[in-house]
Amino acid sequence: MSYLDTEEESYSPRFREPQPLQLSLASAPTTLAVLGMNLAKSMGFSPMIGGVAGAALGGVILVLADQTRSSISTHKY
């Protein structure tokens, strides 16, 4: 008897069910900062400028999402 016969389920990445993409607004500033850094670097600007701009944009997205969420939850019908 081989060791595979005793295991309940063998690991096979080909047959693994795909996990849904988890996009979180909490990572928006970090993700946009990295994107801004890469974009600025490819355009010949300082990556620091792109990182700050991306982080600021991500922060604005967080604030807008928070305001939208709070206005929806405080709405009484």
Q: Where are the domains of the chain?
A: 25-72
Q: Do 31 and 71 meet the contact criterion of CB atoms below 8 Å apart?
A: no
Average pLDDT of span 6-29: 60
Predicted TM-score (pTM) of the model is 0.58
Mean pLDDT score, 19-28: 61
Of 31, 35, 33, 26, the residue nearest 69 (C-alpha): 26
Check pLDDT > 50 for residue 50: yes
pLDDT band for position 21 (cuts 50, 70, 90): very low
Rg of the chain on CA atoms, in Å: 22
Examine the pLDDT at 73 and tell me if it is beyond 80: no
